[in-house]
Structure 1
Amino acid sequence: MIVVPAHLRPWAVPWPAYSPVDITPPELHAGPGLAVSVAEGWAEPCTDPAGLPDLADRQAAALIPYAIDVDGWPLNPAGRTGKTGRNLGRWGENTAADPIVTAGTGLERRVLLIRRGDCGHWAIPGGMVEPGETAPAALVRELREETGVDLAGLAPVVLARMLVADPRESDHAWVATTAALYQLTEPVTATAGDDADDAAWLPFTSLTALTRALDGFGARLYDAHRPLLSRALAHIGGRDA
């Protein structure tokens, strides 16, 4: 990946020499690998976004507005990333839902996180919104699938609809999420499931306290979720430092 200087990130700024690196993995190129990924349900079959018949509809329904370039390819609203192609299931916006679940108050406050199976980092138990699914439904489903906790009867507070600095993003495929906060009076039993390797209630008085707790057993926080957890702390009166 090439490093993109901040002043050259906006698409409106000319950069004739820009040559992003293609990060498309083999399983998302045409062939048997792509067929398997499509059959597994996480990837769409199209290898050229200009050929997507519903691209205009996707653009209109996006959480974060974005443009389409002269070749018919969607452009990451955050600007140039130094990467082209896709390492996500869909071209353009990949819509996610991230349920942030806390329990307790003050020094006893905890947050429910899962250890991701793909990278081993601790993260919010969220995931992608499925075709035809609403964000509220995805929040409940992802939480139940990854932790066994069912909060279908509890209305969350929507904290943000925002871009996520996902390490898989590129100029033409990225993640935008609906982050919502569920507040419980005390922790409930959580068991890792789906693509989570573990689930636990961790200290959540501040991001520093959370990071320190993870450091204690040689783990780390998923960096893309720091801004979302910071939003939650700001809402409930905690500290993000």
Structure 2
Amino acid sequence: MSEYSPVDITPPELQPSVLAHHVPDWAEAARTPVDVTDWPQRQNAALVKFRLDDRGWPLHPHGRTGRIGRNLGKWGENAAADPIVVADTGTQRQVLLITRDDIGVEAIPGGMVDPGETAPAALVRELREETGVDLSDHHPIILGQDLVDDWRNSDNAWVASTSALYLLPATVTAVADDDALDANWWPFGSLDQLDAAITAAGRTLYAAHRPLLQRALDHLETAVQPTQTC
């Protein structure tokens, strides 16, 4: 059996020696998981249950990732909210995506849940901050609460998201802001159609959001199926 040799992905600003002097406003001050004092509360509140190892370090619920350390705001689970906004129906159906400013790909306009914030509130806030679209008066369909294959995940810190579907009768104006470089509506008859349109525009769909978008499509397809009678 080969020895496990993960890569430490902790960026310079989150190194223990640096955190001792300055903590970024988006991160917690804990230099290692041992410095975290509320693990029972975090474990109880987690979208996806996880455990701690013998050292008191959190373990990714799906096992080894090949990476250790922290490249996220918190040790353990980092809760996110992903609003999937779909307009129109049938062949005219479209989905609202942004171009992320960190990795330059097309993605759902979501982000991290702030301390003390609920997932429903984060869905509305992230959408408004990144696209200017305010759907605070809408009631979305919660599609799931799942681990996300985020590029910053490690054995010790990872992203779990509440994904929700917003249905609109027609597209609305979207203007990129905050963490978004661009905001656009894309054809959303299928994931293949979305892929083709994004590729034709010289862009790339964020791989981690593909399962969330497919779940939205599956829900939409199921919702329009006629009721079977005996």
Report the TM-score when normalising by structure 1.
0.89
How does 1:114-129 map onto structure 2 within 5 Å? 114-129=98-113
2:209 pairs with 1:221 = no
1:187 aligned to which of 161, 168, 171: 171
1:71 is aligned with what amino acid?
A: R
CA contact (8 A) 1:27 1:34 kept: no
Question: Would you say 1:62 and 2:46 are equivalent positions?
Answer: yes
SS at match of 1:130: coil
User: Is 2:192 aligned against 1:204?
Assistant: no
Shift of 1:180: 0.2
CA distance in 2, matches of 1:16, 1:55: 32
Distance of 2:215 and 2:10 partners within structure 1: 32
**Structure 2 vs 1, CA of residues 203 and 136 (structure 1 numbering), >3 Å: closer, same or farther?**
same
Residue 86 of structure 2: SS of its match in structure 1? strand
Query: What is the CA–CA distance in structure 2 between the aligned matches of 1:215 and 1:171, rounded to whole Å?
Result: 32
Q: Say whether 1:26 aligns with 2:30.
A: no
- Tell me, in whole angstroms, the C-alpha distance in 2 between the residues paired with 1:162 and 1:128: 14
CA deviation vs aligned residue, 1:149-190 (integer Å, no higher than 9, x gap): 000000000001000001110000000000000000000000
How big is each residue's C-alpha offset from its partner over 1:113-133, in whole Å with a ceiling of 9 and x where there is no partner? 000001110000000000000
- Once the two structures are superposed, residues 98-121 of structure 1 have per-residue CA deviations (whole angstroms, 9 ceiling, x without a partner) of 000000001100000000001110
SS in structure 2 of the partner of residue 237 of structure 1:
helix
1:98 aligned residue (58, 69, 82): 82
Q: Is the 8 A contact 2:12 2:18 kept in 1?
A: no
Which of 157, 161, 171 is the equivalent residue of 2:141?
Answer: 157
Secondary structure of 1:86's partner? Answer: coil
Which residue in the other structure is 2:97 paired with? Answer: 113
The sequence identity of aligned pairs, in percent, is: 59
Gaps of 5+ in 1: 1-14
1:179-221 Cα distance to aligned partner (Å, 9 max, x none): 0000000000000010100000000001111111111111000
Q: Which amino acid aligns with 2:175?
A: T
Structure 1 residue 45, shift from structure 2 partner: 1.2
2:121 counterpart of 1:141: no
Give the residue type in structure 2 aligned to 1:115. T
Structure 1 residue ranges, 4+ long, deviating more than 4 angstroms after superposition:
31-36
5+ residue gaps, structure 2, are 223-230
* 1:236 corresponds to 2:223: no
Partner of 2:161: 177
Q: CA deviation at 1:136?
A: 0.2
**Aligned residue pairs, count:** 222
Q: Is the 8 A contact 2:7 2:66 kept in 1?
A: yes
CA RMSD in angstroms comes to 1.5
Equivalent-residue separation in structure 1 for 2:177 and 2:124 (angstroms): 14
Q: Report how far residue 17 of structure 1 moved.
A: 2.3
Matched with 1:11 is none
For the 8 Å contact 2:81–2:110, the answer to whether it is kept is yes
Amino acid at match of 2:104: G
Q: Distance in 1 between matches of 2:53 and 2:44?
A: 15
User: Take 1:160 and 1:70, find their aligned partners in 2: how far apart are those partners?
Assistant: 31
Structure 1 residue 30: deviation in Å? 2.8
* CA–CA distance in structure 2, aligned partners of residues 44 and 72 of structure 1: 17
CA distance in structure 2 between the aligned counterparts of 1:77 and 1:34, rounded to whole angstroms: 29
Q: How many angstroms apart in 2 are the aligned matches of 1:90 and 1:27?
A: 13
